[in-house]
Amino acid sequence: MTNLLPLFVAIPLAGGFLAPLIGYGSDERRAGAARMLALLVGALLLAGSIAFMGAAARVCWIGDWIGTSSRPVGLSLVCDGLTELLLITVNSIAFIALIYSWSYIERFTGRSLYYCLFLIMLAGLNGVVLAGDLFNIFVFMEVAVIASYALVAFGVERPELEASFKYIVLGSVSSLFVLLGIAVLYNLTGQLNMALIADRLVAVGATPAVWLAAGCFIMGFGLKAAMVPFHAWLPDAHPSAPAPISAMLSGVVIKAVGVYAVCRLMFNVFGMTTPGGAMYANVLITLGVLSMIIGVLLALGQWDFKRLLAYSSISQVGYVFLGVGVGAAVLAGGGPAPVAGLAIFGGLFHLVNHAAFKSLLFLCSGATEYGTGTRDMHNLGGLKHTMPVTAGCCRVAALSIAGVPPFNGFWSKLIIIIAVAQAGYWSLAALAALVSFLTLTTFLKVQRHVIDGDPPAYERQPREAPGAMQLAMVCLTVACVLLGILLPLHQGWLIKPAQRALVSGPGYATAFGPPGMTAQIAQATPRVEEAGP
Amino acid sequence: MPSGMSLIVKTVTRLVASFIVLFGVYVALYGHVSPGGGFAGGAIVAGGLILVMLAFGRRQTRNMFTHGMALGWDCGGALAFVAIALLGYLAGDFFLNFAGHGDPYRLASAGTIPLSNAAIAAKVGAGLFGVFLALAVFRPGQRQEGEQ
């Protein structure tokens, strides 16, 4: 089954290029055909990613070109625990966004091009998380983000175009930094395969050139993940896109091309047990905490529903980086492995949870805009009477993101805070709790001004969203509830393998390198025991 | 009023445009034995088409090469490329070069590589021309000028 891995990229790519061509007759019928095709591709990919869950980690060499350590040619796709986690997250959110698009995208023109861009973006995202070499990560990242530039501008009004332009400029700068980082690493090690780079970096040791490369990656991928000094594009780009695209952008794009890439590089390529490890970990923690605080403070003052959600994404990604960064710091400092494991577990669990509830919130904001024609919270309110399904889903999502007990957001934040405290960062744990409180305040405001409260004088009577949009929102609502209360059941299947992949650090190199690799790394670093809550 | 450039430019374009496109096809098809390849060949083909458009004006050219044609060749080329990669599964693996490799340095050699080059050439040629067409045809403030 291993050699089926390329299908995760090939199927959406083929579907994307087929979407504008199939169907005949009127634009209406062609768009209908594209819509069916996209939904079919989405369902196939979701089924595929579920089928790939939990099996042993594996590597697929494209075209049967298996490199050797002395002659490292060939491209590899790697599917380990972290990749599985991201694959299933990306493909489930994409499938739900496609269901939602079924009705939502009806009011746009050029709908078959929408599905074309959507599927190409999906191909890029799947490629990023599967790629086993750095240059392919770069290429697939560009595929995904260039499609997303176009999707952000899909409304082709002035604000959308402006947001998209800003996103293009900043995104291109960050891509150049990533490319520079790849060039530096290639110069140091002569390799592009991540396993081989990790192996050779052990011999290179801690030099300023390695730090330069790490800095380029943190800046480049950090901008894609909207970490705080690099976040300026996100509050424009995410609200401007059509709602299902906003859900994809905030839910999975910033995770796959940002968080995933940073984690993969820092843990598995640079390695936390190397001399530079503590420094990388501190950078991740600092940027994570900054994102967490500044994001929520900016979100608090927003009155545009979608813009508020976009700012809150910055804050929640900060939580992910805090969890993962503290885990990295503990590993780098030689601290207790269970604490590191718990922190990383919390970070990854929050990543999945954020994908669920933030996508749901964006879908709800889309339904609200669809029903009322506005997303200014001054002019909203009382939707629980007129749009009960949307309001109910929105309430569950708001409670989840605010960290109210039975829902998923509570558990991941709790795990992060406990792990951060256990690692000795008491002040950061307190800050995380405070930010959680501010998030609660922000989303109480959303509930007060959108769901509850007196309905203002609407221009037209708000109407409930169409069935497909309701179905998509209800699916994510169920996910928000189940991810939280079924944590003991799904953790071993969903999150533990990903956590192991990160904690094992340099184990990546020995597991996924070409056959006959020298594996200096195996002797150079001690094995870290499995850990977790 | 006649559109496009002067008679001299039009006459010269009429003479050379087909050779430019032919050269692009040559570069693409011989990509596996000589310098060049699908991307370079496709870019040359697009250059030939853009020359026609510059010389004869967009109104006249759009009747010959439509937006729909650009879209069709662009998507078709990409689809053909993915299809060649997927056909590798019949022989066992994704992107496996299953076709006979032939004698080196001959046109009919290197298995599926020339086919992939041709697909890329179609994709790149139509894509670049499509970008130019979009820049020439779409105007700010209105969705699209004229047809479609």
DSSP assignment of A341-364 equals HHHHHHHHHHHHHHHHHHHHHHHH
- Closest to A99 (Cα-Cα) out of A472, A480, A477: A472
Is the Cβ of A454 closer than 8 Å to some Cβ of chain B?
A: no
Residues of B in contact with A10 (CB under 8 A): 82, 85-86, 94
The answer to the question of residue B57 being in a domain is yes
Query: Residue A155 carries which DSSP code?
Result: G
- d(CA A112, CA A481) in angstroms, rounded, equals 34
Cβ pair A533, A495 in contact under 8 A: no
Q: Is residue B143 part of a domain?
A: no
Chain B within 8 Å of A498 (Cβ-Cβ)? no
Q: How far is A21 from chain B (nearest CA, A)?
A: 7
CA distance, residue B9 to nearest chain A CA (Å):
36
DSSP string computed for A412-457: HHHHHHHHHHHTT-HHHHHHHHHHHHHHHHHHHHHIIIIISS----
**Is the Cβ pair A17, B75 closer than 8 Å?**
yes
Residue of A1, A17, A18 to mutate, testing the B interface (most B Cβ within 10 Å of its Cβ): A17
State whether A63 and B93 contact (CB < 8 Å): yes
Using CA coordinates, name the residue in chain B closest to A116.
B75
Tell me, what's the pLDDT at B81? 93
Residue of B nearest to A14 (CA): B79
Model pLDDT, residue A333: 87
CA atoms within 13 A on the CB side of B46: 24
A3 touches chain B (CB under 8 A): yes
Structure tokens belonging to residue B106: 């001959």
Cβ–Cβ contact A192 with B under 8 A = no
Q: How far apart are CA A343 and CA A328, in angstroms?
A: 9
**CB A109 within 8 Å of CB A96:** no
Q: Is the pLDDT of residue A359 over 90?
A: yes
Q: Is the pLDDT of residue B147 over 70?
A: no
Question: Taking CB atoms and an 8 Å limit, are B96 and A18 in contact across chains?
Answer: no
Centroid of chain to Cα A155? 24
Closest chain B C-alpha to A496 CA, distance in angstroms: 30
Give the H or E element holding residue B52.
helix B38-56
In a domain, B146, yes or no: no
Nearest CA in chain A to B73: A21
What SS3 class is residue A57? coil
**What local confidence, expressed as pLDDT, does residue B105 receive?**
79
CA torsion sign for A151, A155, A160, A166 is positive
Count CA within 13 A, CB hemisphere, residue A114.
Answer: 29
pLDDT at position A144: 95
Q: Which residues pair with A222 in a beta bridge?
A: none
Cα(B74)–Cα(A127) distance, rounded to whole angstroms? Answer: 21
Q: Do B82 and A64 touch (CB under 8 A)?
A: no
Q: How close, in Å, is residue B14 to chain A by CA atoms?
A: 32
Q: Is A26 exposed, middle or buried (0-12, 13-18, 19+ CB in 10 A)?
A: exposed
Q: Which residues contact B37 (CB under 8 A, 6 or more apart)?
A: B27, B28, B31, B117, B120
H-only helix segments in A301-336: 305-332
Q: Is the pLDDT of residue A170 over 70?
A: yes
Q: Are A399 and A484 in contact (CB under 8 A)?
A: no
Closest CB from A14, A17, A63 relative to B95: A63
* 3-state secondary structure string across A77-111: EEECHHHHHHHHHHHHHHHHHHHHHHHHHHHCCCH
Judged against a pLDDT cut of 80, whether residue A143 lies above it is answered with: yes
Alpha carbon distance B45, B26 (integer Å):
10
Task: Give the SS3 label for residue B3.
Answer: coil
Q: What is the mean pLDDT of residues B123-144?
A: 80
The verdict on a CB contact (< 8 Å) between A6 and B85 is yes
CB-count exposure of residue A523 (10 Å: 0-12, 13-18, 19+) = exposed
Q: What pLDDT score does A521 carry?
A: 47
Tell me the chain A residues in contact with residue B92 when contact means C-beta distances shorter than 8 Å: 3, 64
Q: For B97, which of A10, A63, A116 is closest by C-beta distance?
A: A63
Nearest 10 degrees: Cα torsion A276, A278, A279, A282: 160
Q: How far apart are CA A327 and CA A3, in angstroms?
A: 33
Q: Is A404 helix (H, G, I), strand (E, B) or coil?
A: coil
In the structure, what pLDDT confidence band is assigned to residue A111 with cuts at 50, 70 and 90?
confident
Q: A217: pLDDT confidence band, cut at 50, 70 and 90?
A: very high
| Interface of chain B toward chain A, CB-CB under 8 angstroms | 71-72, 75-76, 78-79, 82-83, 85-86, 88-89, 92-97, 143
Domain encompassing residue B93: 7-137
Average pLDDT of span A418-431: 93
Residue B41 inside a domain? The answer is yes
Rg of chain B over Cα atoms, rounded to whole angstroms, equals: 18
A193, β-bridge pairs? A133
| φ/ψ bin of A420: left (φ > 0), alpha (ψ from -120 to 50), beta (otherwise) | alpha
Q: Hey, are the CB atoms on B97 and A10 less than 8 Å from each other?
A: no
First CA to last CA distance, chain B: 23
The amino acid present at A440, given as its one-letter code, is L
- Average pLDDT, stretch A472-492? 90
Interface test with A, best of B39, B86, B93 (most A CBs within 10 A): B93
Measured between alpha carbons, how far is residue A211 from residues A204, A241, A409, A462, A515 in Å? 12, 36, 34, 55, 29
The DSSP annotation for A176-235 comes to HHHHHHHHHHHHHHS--BHHHHHHHHHHH-S-HHHHHHHHHHHHHHHHHTT-GGG-TTHH
> Do residue B79 and residue A20 have CB atoms under 8 angstroms apart?
no
Q: What is the pLDDT of residues A288-318, one digit of tens each?
A: 999 999 999 999 989 999 999 999 999 999 9
Considering only the beta carbons, identify the residue of A10, A20, A63 that sits closest to B86: A10
Check whether A458 has a pLDDT greater than 80: no
The DSSP 8-state label assigned to residue A304 in this structure reads B
**Number of domains present in the structure of chain B:** 1
Question: Kindly report the CA angle at A486 between A482 and A489, in degrees rounded to 5?
Answer: 140
Min CA distance, A116 vs chain B (Å)?
Answer: 10
Q: Can you give A479-509 as a three-state secondary structure string?
A: HHHHHHHCHHHHHHHHCHHHHHHHHCCCHHH
What share of chain B in percent tops pLDDT 90?
A: 42
pLDDT exceeds cutoff 90 at A67: no
Size of interface A-B (CB pairs under 8 A): 48
**DSSP string of A331-346?**
HHTT--HHHHHHHHHH
Is the CB of residue A17 less than 8 Å away from at least one CB of chain B? yes
How much is the average pLDDT of A235-253? 92
What CA–CA distance (Å, rounded) separates B72 from B122?
10
B104 found inside a domain: yes
Best mutation target among A2, A60, A64, A109 (most B Cβ atoms within 10 Å) is A64
> Is residue B100 one of the residues assigned to a domain?
yes
pLDDT at A93: 95
Domain positions in chain A: 155-524
For the purposes of burial, counting CB atoms within 10 Å of the CB of A169, is it exposed (0-12), middle (13-18) or buried (19 or more)?
Answer: exposed
Looking from the CA of A27 toward its CB, the CA atoms found within 13 Å total: 10
Backbone angles phi, psi at A79, to 5 degrees: -125, 95
Please tell me the predicted confidence (pLDDT) of residue A72.
Answer: 67
Asked if A519 and A199 touch (Cβ cutoff 8 Å), the reply is yes
Predicted pLDDT at A465: 87
